[in-house]
Amino acid sequence: MSGVEPSVERARERLIGRVEGEVRSGEPMSRHTSFRIGGPADLFVVCDTLSDLAIATDVLAEEEVPWVVIGKGTNLLVSDEGYRGAVLLLGREFRKRVREGETVRAGAGAVLAHVVQDAFHHGLAGLEFAVGIPGTLGGALEMNAGSRDVWMSSVVESVTLFVPGQGLELVHGTDIDWGYRRSGLAGRGIIVEAELKLREGDPVRIRYEMERSLARRRQTQPIGKPSAGSVFVNPPGLSAGRLIEEAGLKNTRLGGARVSEVHANFIVNDGGATAQDVLGLVRKIRLIVKETHGVELRPEIKFLGEFTRA
């Protein structure tokens, strides 16, 4: 791949044959984001085991190659030019799920929907609010994902982090700096596993709550359209979606990107949208909402690659 730094190529050569997972060059990130947008990552490494993760982070540090860990890319906008570094994806070993009584232990790479369904099948309550939330368990923990009233923090017993160059660290749920759409975990290490403390429940009641939560999401969110979920964090005591709608921005389009007519805090890819299209809409929304309401909206989605800060 032309234009790749020699350090990236050295890292690739050192990783091939040493890690169990795949090592790819020039991987299109549009394949790994719910927006279906994004140019190529110079290096893409699937870490199937904890050993893979340790080797990859060591090699990348030694070669001074920047890296990032992603899940399903459900809140990620990747530059059209891609990412000049390495993207790490948690693979096989990090997707396992085990039930021990009322505790579910799952890897950070496990799809959250699968964890929710496992709990339901075993008659365990506590995760009904998470039905319909896309992405992996790790991403949900990092962002303290949830509904209007309940969040991941309510069920977390502990989280296991991998700290590059040091090893594993167990963090109890009560020692995590939980907040609205944040946990502080990303700055402490790579989330690799979590223990979720649930409770026995009535399967009929669990199903009812799950169906109610899912129905609410289907009515209020643009299900089926490529997006990255809520674009902006709700300001204290306010609704970002309502502010955007009241500013007259619902259904506003730029290129292939459009503000959803279902929920104004979602930008959807109507087909062929670029990262610049989305970024342009983000900037326009922030500007007009500030002019209209005097409120500065803060992006909830993450930006990967070369961007002028939104």
Residue for token digits 């997006």?
Answer: 227
Query: pLDDT above 90 covers what percent of the chain?
Result: 92
207 flagged as catalytic: no
Does residue 1 have a pLDDT over 70? no
Please report which confidence band the pLDDT of residue 223 belongs to, taking 50, 70 and 90 as the band edges.
Answer: confident
Tens of pLDDT, residues 4-37: 899 999 999 999 999 999 999 999 999 999 999 9
What letter represents residue 20's amino acid? E
The CA distance from 252 to 287, in Å, is 14
The pTM for the full model equals 0.93
Query: pLDDT above 70 covers what percent of the chain?
Result: 98
Tens of pLDDT, residues 195-204: 999 999 999 9
Nearest to residue 93, comparing CAs of 47, 54, 140?
A: 47
Number of residues written out for the chain: 310
230 flagged as catalytic: yes
Does residue 2 have a pLDDT over 60? no
What letter represents residue 185's amino acid? L
pLDDT of residue 309: 53
The answer to whether the beta carbons of residues 60 and 86 sit under 8 Å apart is yes
300 flagged as catalytic: yes
Does residue 224 have a pLDDT over 90? no
Tokens, residue 134: 């896309």
**Which is catalytic among the residues 230, 258, 260, 286?**
230
Please report which confidence band the pLDDT of residue 149 belongs to, taking 50, 70 and 90 as the band edges.
Answer: confident
| Arithmetic mean of pLDDT, 53-67 | 98
Does residue 308 have a pLDDT over 80? no
| Arithmetic mean of pLDDT, 280-302 | 97
Q: Locate all alpha helices (DSSP H) within the chain, ordered by sequence.
A: 6-15, 50-62, 112-121, 137-142, 203-220, 240-246, 275-293
The pair phi, psi for residue 17, each rounded to 5°, is 90, -15
pLDDT of residue 144: 96
Mean of the per-residue pLDDT values of the chain? 95
Give me the domains of the chain, ranges plus CATH numbers: 6-93 (3.30.43.10), 96-219 (3.30.465.10), 223-304 (3.90.78.10)
The answer to whether the beta carbons of residues 143 and 129 sit under 8 Å apart is no
The CA distance from 97 to 111, in Å, is 10
Tokens, residue 306: 């070369």
Give the H/E segment covering residue 299.
Answer: strand 298-299
Give the H/E segment covering residue 98.
Answer: strand 97-100
The CA distance from 54 to 116, in Å, is 29
pLDDT of residue 186: 87
**Which is catalytic among the residues 92, 181, 188, 217?**
181
For β-strands 103-107 and 190-197, DSSP reports them as antiparallel
Tens of pLDDT, residues 82-119: 999 999 999 999 999 999 999 999 999 999 999 999 99
